[in-house]
Copies of this chain bind each other. A is one copy, B any other.
Amino acid sequence: MKTTKNDIQQWFQALQDDICSGLEKLDGKAQFEEDLWQREGGGGGRTRIIQNGVLLEKGGVNFSAVYGETPAAVQQAMNLPPSNFFASGVSIVIHPISPMVPIIHMNVRYFEIDDNLWWFGGGIDLTPHYVMPELAQAFHRGLKSVCNEYQLNAYSRFKEWADDYFYIKHRQETRGIGGIFFDNLNETSEKTAKNNIWEFVQAVGNAFVPLYQEQCEATRNLPYGDKEKNWQALRRGRYVEFNLVLDRGTKFGLDTNGRTESILMSLPATAAWQYKYTPQADSAEAFTQQYLRKGIDWLGITP
């Protein structure tokens, strides 16, 4: 069966519905509010924002499907001739209230040029304010089993890609414990049929709610105080730095006159910066900091 852009777009839209209802159930109180928007050159999206919940402080689950003439900025960045493009995807960032609960991000997307060039991209990564090795391991195990269904070495390929992508170069630290990241997946790069890649992308999308639920259930009732809230605010500051300085999706959106409120839904409700902040030796914060680096074998560690 041929997977058309129409199928893909409809599936992404249904994924947005599923994830929103999953997150509402997880929160127990807050509901998503929806904004529909249209893009001048063609297409549009459904931005859904959740705020001030019991568990979730601020987050967004965005669906979009846009098309038309490839914008000049995109042509340049991707080295494309004048062409028509189609892009659809779901993009999520969730900031919880409790500093004990991790921030999560997911994105799955499909891109097509002139109805013949196409590729998939996406990823999930987790940013715990406090790294708990057993939960980090559980997260990576979950991602590995999604990847194993696809290709034997997919997890290690995409895990390494995430380590490189979610790296805050100017801080020499990763933004969290990573996850998986992939881009430009097509028949040539993956040596497999479009349907297989598409099934993998769907499996990534479907993994989001159960993976985050597991993290939330294990952490949402942990106690915390001002010290933990302060640290959370500083870690959120780093999240802001990553998203505004380094994230390609954000840059792409702002450069192509995307809907700013939808793009910047990824920013937390509050963030903080302190000159030369260094956690105290042997503190829980210092424990976390040592894990903010590339190349950790989360499946191999003994939590």
Q: Is the CB of B254 within 8 A of A245?
A: yes
Q: Does A58 contact B (CB under 8 A)?
A: yes
Residue of B nearest to A236 (CB): B271
Complexed CA–CA distance, A244 and B273 (Å): 13
**Cα distance A264–B241 in the bound complex, in angstroms:** 10
What CA separation (Å) do A261 and B171 show in the bound complex?
A: 9
In the complex, whether A90 has a CB less than 8 A from a CB of chain B is: no
Q: Complex Cα distance A28/B267, Å?
A: 35
Are B267 and A58 in touch, CB under 8 angstroms? no
Which of B169, B261, B267, B275 is the one whose CB lies under 8 Å from A237? B267
Contacts of A264 in B (CB 8 A): 170, 241, 273
Nearest Cβ on chain B to A18's Cβ, whole angstroms: 22
Copies of this polypeptide in the complex: 2
Answer whether residue A26 sits at the interface, using C-beta atoms and an 8 A cutoff.
Answer: no
Classify chain A's interface size. 20 to 34
Decide if A268 is an interface residue (CB 8 Å cutoff).
Answer: yes
Inside 8 A of A65's CB, which chain B residues have their CB?
none
How near does chain B come to A255, taking the closest CB pair, in angstroms? Answer: 9
Q: Does A3 contact B (CB under 8 A)?
A: no
Chain B residues near A171 (CB-CB < 8 A): 260
Residues of B within 8 A of A60 (CB): 275
Complex CA distance for A157 and B17, rounded to whole angstroms: 52
Q: Which 3 A-B pairs have the closest CB atoms?
A: A244-B244, A267-B273, A170-B260
| Partner-B contacts on A (CB < 8 A) | 35, 49, 51, 58, 60, 169-171, 233, 237, 240-241, 244-245, 254, 260-261, 263-265, 267-276
